[in-house]
Amino acid sequence: MTILEWLSTGFLALPPWQVAAAGLAATHLTIIAVTVYLHRNQTHHALTLHPLPAHCFRFWLWLTTGMVTREWVAVHRSHHAHCEGELDPHSPRTKGIGSVLLRGAELYRAAAADPALVRRYGAGAPDDWIERRLYSRYTWQGVAMLLIAYVAAFGVIGITVWAIHMLWIPLLAAGVVNGLGHYAGYRNFDGPDAAANLMPLGLLIGGEELHNNHHALPTSAKFSVRWFEFDAGWAYVRLLVWLRLASVRPPAAPLRLRAEPGAPTVDTLRQVLCNRAILTRQLNACAVAALRVQRPTLRHTLSAQAMARIETLLARTPGRLDREEEAELTHFCAVYPLFEQLQEQRRSFEALWNRSAAPPAELLLRLSAWCAAAARVRPLSSFANHLRRYG
């Protein structure tokens, strides 16, 4: 093989479609390494990986992205801790959607360059000999080795394949997930943040498309929650579990009912605090159901358009309404006392998490008082009585 022939085809001499397929396979493996190893395993401890796949993922990410595990973990944990606030490293609400989409990688690097942030949020990430002497120390040498390997295997076109690979994570993960994932999409859980599911099929970004589900249940290794949603990352987790190379963390305090109703217990409190997203969604559904029950009465005073608008607002968690929406719903509730009572109880329920650092005894008293008060509001009575039975 002459030098010109090697530059043209590389040592493998693959046709163009096979070069493209190999490049896409490599980028897909990088996405899986990010979602399974960096995100679900290292950041949230949603699963435990055997040392063999854990180190393979770590090596592959050093080779293909140059990212340091501790820094990635710290930046993402900081994002969850300060989501949509001024200290969120990459919130479209504070940084602007265009900035996060186009400069997501820069925002990540700026946050990762803060030693205090990395120390505070990077605890538990790998800190062994190879991490200190190679992966964290020589971050650009890995991607340089990948460039050499691509050129050697595919020829000059390998430079293009390498460039696409280098853009894959900054564009899709740092840009699309952190940007559009907090800007547009559908929501299964109306939590305090703006996270949304970009699409129900988590194929392109390994399941990270199901971003709202993840923010609602951050310690779950599975990002899909509805029958039509598919999480590609979860498929790989299940494969690793089947190969006995991983174990999945059980759900935190899963909701379970006692045989007999009674006063809320410490177990009830723990389940309520750990299942905020699920219970908030159920409470929002109660509010919407109440409006639909009252629809025959309300249609004499409200137009169909106004009714649809009020239903949209009631489906939202009270803390997620802006000032204009809050005023609109307050005006409606002032005319209909039943919904004023309902909204008051929804705000009280939401306030439980604002006091989650209070002593358990105080929180339990507040939860018991909430159940007693909500049981007297007809649309919430079933929910409140059901809540008492958790534990």
Strands 230-231 and 201-202: parallel
| Tokens 């996405």 sit on residue | 31
128 compared with 192, residue with greater pLDDT? 128
120 compared with 274, residue with greater pLDDT? 120
pLDDT at 6 over 60: no
pLDDT at 13 over 90: no
pLDDT at 277 over 90: no
pLDDT of residue 229: 94
Copy the structure tokens of residue 300: 């004499």
C-alpha gyration radius of the chain: 25
Residue 231 dihedral angles phi and psi, to the nearest 5° = -115, 105
pLDDT at 1 over 60: no
User: What predicted TM-score, i.e. pTM, was given to this entire model?
Assistant: 0.84
pLDDT digits (tens, 9 = 90+) for 350-390: 887 776 667 888 888 888 888 888 888 888 888 888 888 77
pLDDT of residue 119: 93
18 DSSP 8-state letter = H
Our CA angle for 225, 276, 77, nearest 5°, is 80
Angle between helix 16-32 and helix 51-64 axes, rounded to 10 deg: 120
Query: Left (φ > 0), alpha (ψ -120 to 50) or beta: where does 47 sit?
Result: beta
Query: Left (φ > 0), alpha (ψ -120 to 50) or beta: where does 176 sit?
Result: alpha
On the CB side of 268, how many CA atoms lie within 13 Å of its CA? Answer: 23
pLDDT band at 268 (very low <50, low <70, confident <90, very high): confident
Residue count (the chain):
391
Among candidate residues 206, 203, 184, the one with its CA nearest the CA of residue 195: 184
Residue 342 has a CB neighbour count (10 Å cut-off) of 23
Rounded Cα gap, residues 378 and 274, in angstroms: 26
| Tokens 């290292």 sit on residue | 42
The pLDDT mean for the chain works out to 88
pLDDT digits (tens, 9 = 90+) for 214-256: 998 898 999 999 999 999 999 999 999 999 999 998 876 667 7
pLDDT at 189 over 70: yes
User: Which residues, in sequence order, are bridge partners of residue 197?
Assistant: 186, 210
Burial 86-113 (b: 16+ CB within 10 A, else e): eebbbbbbebeeeebbebbbebbbebbe
What is the mean pLDDT of the segment spanning 105-127? 92
Residue 30 has a CB neighbour count (10 Å cut-off) of 23
- Torsion angle, alpha carbons of 241, 215, 56, 74, to 10: -140
Residue 42 CB partners (closer than 8 Å, separation 6+): 69, 72, 73, 124, 125, 126
Copy the structure tokens of residue 373: 């008060």
Among candidate residues 348, 328, 339, the one with its CA nearest the CA of residue 291: 339
pLDDT at 5 over 80: no
pLDDT of residue 73: 96
Rounded Cα gap, residues 211 and 284, in angstroms: 20
pLDDT of residue 2: 61
Copy the structure tokens of residue 371: 């159940």
pLDDT of residue 122: 93
* Contact by Cβ (8 Å): 387, 255: no
Q: Which stretch, 22-31, 196-205, 265-274, 375-384, has highest mean pLDDT? A: 22-31
Copy the structure tokens of residue 289: 């159901």
Copy the structure tokens of residue 6: 């090697």
350 compared with 257, residue with greater pLDDT? 350
